[in-house]
Copies of this chain bind each other. A is one copy, B any other.
Amino acid sequence: MPFEDLIYLFDIVGTLVFAISGVVAAVERKFDLVGAFIIGLVTALGGGTTRDLLIGSTPVGWMLSLDYLWVVISAMVLCFFFYRQLARIRKGLFIFDSIGLGLFTILGLQKALNAGLSIPIALMLGIVSAVFGGVIRDVLTNQVPLIFRKEIYALASLFGGVFYLIGIEMNFSSALNAFISIGIVILIRSLAVKYGWQSPFLPLSEVEKIKKG
């Protein structure tokens, strides 16, 4: 399979897994058909949309093809018929979710570099592409975004992006570079889950002490 096709396949699978996670969240909140569609859509495509808006790349990318709309609709159909199974194997989707996280990071990063933005800004836009769909999902379901509190999700994206930039510097082939970067993301997330890694900013006890004092 040529490299471009593989990227395309990963992109579609990643989008599907993100959309499923959105639709499942909507079902848990008893949203109706419209709610499930919108939450599925923004979870899967909200990150890339935010990136494209910030760069000024409009109409935003996914609107130029019908593929992504079909992926979201497929996620709804899958959830409609296999909700029970999908809710059960959710953790099994972890690996695909991590592939999506890594791929969206490097696709976003590359798009920002192509737009002539500086490396640190491009790195940030890569992370935005990968994580802002989930942020918008959480805002629309009236919750504090998960990534602000519990996960090293965004940090895994950051490290994947950094390795991708190193790979560019070292003239790795696109394919090798993509595989290494996505591998790093999968590795970090797996280790984080296994060892319960967190990324506190200030020790909670410290903050409590200050509040009392």
- Minimal beta-carbon separation of A44 from chain B (angstroms): 14
B residues less than 8 Å from A29 (CB atoms): 144, 148-149
Instruction: Report the separation of the CA atoms of residues A14 and B38 in the bound assembly, to the nearest whole angstrom.
Output: 24
Please tell me if the beta carbons of A210 and B38 are within 8 angstroms of each other in the complex.
no
B residues less than 8 Å from A30 (CB atoms): 149, 204, 207
- Minimal beta-carbon separation of A157 from chain B (angstroms): 9
Please tell me if the beta carbons of A26 and B148 are within 8 angstroms of each other in the complex.
yes
Which residue in B69, B87, B121, B147 is a CB contact (below 8 Å) of A210?
A: B87
Q: Interface on A for B, CB 8 Å cutoff?
A: 26-36, 38-39, 49, 53-56, 58-60, 63-64, 66, 69, 76, 79-80, 83-84, 87, 115, 117-118, 120-121, 124-125, 135, 139-145, 147-150, 152-155, 198-202, 204, 206-207, 210, 213
15 contacts between A and B (CB under 8 A): A27-B207, A32-B198, A34-B147, A49-B54, A53-B54, A54-B60, A54-B63, A56-B59, A56-B60, A59-B117, A63-B117, A64-B117, A66-B118, A140-B145, A142-B144
